Amino acid sequence: MSIPSRILYVNLTDGSSRAETIDPSLPRDLIGGYGINNKLAYDLMPPGIDPLSPENLIIIGAGPFAGTLVPGSAKILITTRFPINGAFATAAAGGSFALMLKSVGYDHVVISGRARDPVFLSLTEEKLELVDAGDLWGMDTYETDDALRSRYEPCSIIPIGPAGENLVKNSITFVDKAGTIGRGGLPAVMGSKNLKAIIVQLGKVPMRMTDRLTFHRLVNRLHDRIMSWPNRQVIQDNGLMPAPPDMSEVHRRTRRPLACPSCPLADKVMVCLDEGPYAGLRTYMPHISAHRFSAKNSTEAYEQSIKYSDALNRYGIGGTNFSGLFYSIVDLYQQGIITREDTGGIELKNDIETALELIRMTAYRKGLGEVLAEGPAEIERLVGERAIGSIAHIKGNAIVRDPRIGGLGTMEFEQMTTPRGAHIAAAGSPSYDPGRPFADFVRHGERMGVSAQALKWLEESGVFNPGRYSKYSEDWYALFNCLSLCNRAQVNRFYHIDTIAALYTAVTGIESSPEELMHIAERAWTIGKLLSVREGFDRRHDHAPVAWFHPLIRSGEEHRITDYDRTTNLTRGDLERFLDDYYDERGYDRVSGLPTREKLRELGLESMAEGLNLPEGR
């Protein structure tokens, strides 16, 4: 017998709310988190809504593993229509929110409408309150978190900063200061609703478990493997992404590891600078992001990097998008391609002072910040033909992994196919590291539950094809999102589809084979795809940026886009053929890049074809 799921609906316009029990068949068909979030978005939001209108919904979901002892089961999922590109997508983060939400008896929260004045939403086991946030409006994300935590601890908080209040499309926020969530404008959606923060306080609703004995046996086995993994101590000492060698000493001295609930790895970090111009600064981050600016030495570069990250975090601005734009426009300015007329009279320098000023201007939409607030696509329009290929983005989000540096693996390729725009979370595979043998890809495919037929084809081909392989990485990621499992490589590596199936049955009581779980994951991914298909997204939007086909110059060395093995330079035609292979592997139409009606019938989603101009078959 499966455990019932509950959903809370909140209308900010009139302050009303209601709770419902989810149809028991829905968790069986879509699991929770990502799958049910997507279905709710598809059913409740009509096509064509403005991302910053009251009609746009914020849908929060926690999967069945959230709140349990399953290692890495802290992920919270938020689905909305993102303002940076108009795509429907789901953002994910760690932190305590998923655990807290379960502790007050809910699996999902749907927020609609717009409050007349600034409020924050406070949820406890007994009640929901919309509380006046006038005293918080104008505070940065950390100040907001601190103010609310002093009133409500123990709790979990998703706040917004000035960027969200000013509807900056290139905004981001955090769960409990450390778990980044909502790149591409979730805070702007919250700001458009006058919603300063969402808080859930720790409740006493127990986690229900169908088979505790089996569950604890499986969890103990996973925990023992993680604790004995040699690289665990490396992460504890250096973080998920170690600082550059010349910054490592000061980083180890000033950092403190942070962990999400149920995570034995502690891969996030708090940094406390103890000397220098920013002495006393305390900030939080998923990992160190090193910048050089015009620093005189490595210690100064490290301190400036921390100050830079802290400013982005406090204002609530997406670092990946902003950093790419900052370096690009400074370079274009120094080449004379853009001038003070373009920048509003500001001289652009590659120094910390310029970076901090542009961050502030972006958060408040002042001067050049008005353009930066809109994201990479708007900057691309500003420079136009004067600098073709200088701004690398896909669907309005700056690229995260550049195939000119590491070759075309799944993380580079999947930036084109994800509905959200350039992103790497959904494309984990052995290609994360250079030079992995082909046997590793076959072994990883088996761990992800790739069908025997597809594995046989993969082995016989003997060639890594990022287009075909990315389909399975995406489905694997969808499964982790449905369950609220962390998909970071250092957690993901310990999970096999057989282990996940056994855990799922032990928690929920629903008997599901590995094949059935991967079928559900593919169904969830496809609904996410259909949300954007309704808005007109198709193959035309899944294109590689022009920048990839121009040489990248670093330290005087020229880099061109190559295959993963770094043996062959690639052309746009090569990437289009990989896209053909991707759509073919998904069962989509190659010409349009759309799911076919035949594919939807196979997934039990044929009713969703209504009103969509989809091809019948391949």
Terminal-to-terminal C-alpha distance of the chain: 39
Q: What is the mean pLDDT of residues 391-403?
A: 93
Buried residues in 573-608 as b, exposed as e (16+ CB within 10 A): ebbeebbebbbebbbbbbebbbbbbbbbebbebeeb
Q: How do the domains of the chain map onto residue ranges?
A: 6-201, 407-542+569-609
| pLDDT above 60 for 1 | no
> What does the pLDDT look like over 566-593, one tens digit per residue?
999 999 999 999 999 999 999 999 999 9
What pLDDT score was predicted for residue 104? 97
> What does the pLDDT look like over 502-525, one tens digit per residue?
999 999 999 999 999 999 999 999
pLDDT range class, residue 492, cuts 50, 70, 90:
very high
What pLDDT score was predicted for residue 49? 96
| pLDDT above 80 for 27 | no
- Would you say domain 6-201 falls under CATH 3.60.9.10? yes
> What does the pLDDT look like over 142-168, one tens digit per residue?
999 999 999 999 999 999 999 999 999
| 540 vs 282: CA distance, rounded Å | 44
Residue type at 439 in one-letter notation: A
CATH class belonging to 407-542+569-609: mainly alpha
| 9 vs 128: CA distance, rounded Å | 10
Q: What is the mean pLDDT of residues 544-564?
A: 92
DSSP string, 123-189: E-SS-EEEEE-TTTTT--HHHHHHHHHHHH-SEEEEE--HHHHTT-SSB-EEETTTEEE-TTTHHHH
What is the percent of the chain with per-residue pLDDT over 70, rounded to a whole number?
99
**Predicted TM-score of the model (pTM):** 0.97
| 537 vs 525: CA distance, rounded Å | 15
Q: What is the mean pLDDT of residues 53-72?
A: 97
| pLDDT above 50 for 458 | yes
The token pair at 316 is 């609530």
Buried residues in 27-59 as b, exposed as e (16+ CB within 10 A): bebbbbbbbbbbbbbbeebeeebebbebbbbbb
Of 72-76, 116-120, 125-129, 609-613, the least confident: 609-613
**Greatest CA span in the chain, whole angstroms?**
69
| pLDDT above 70 for 3 | no
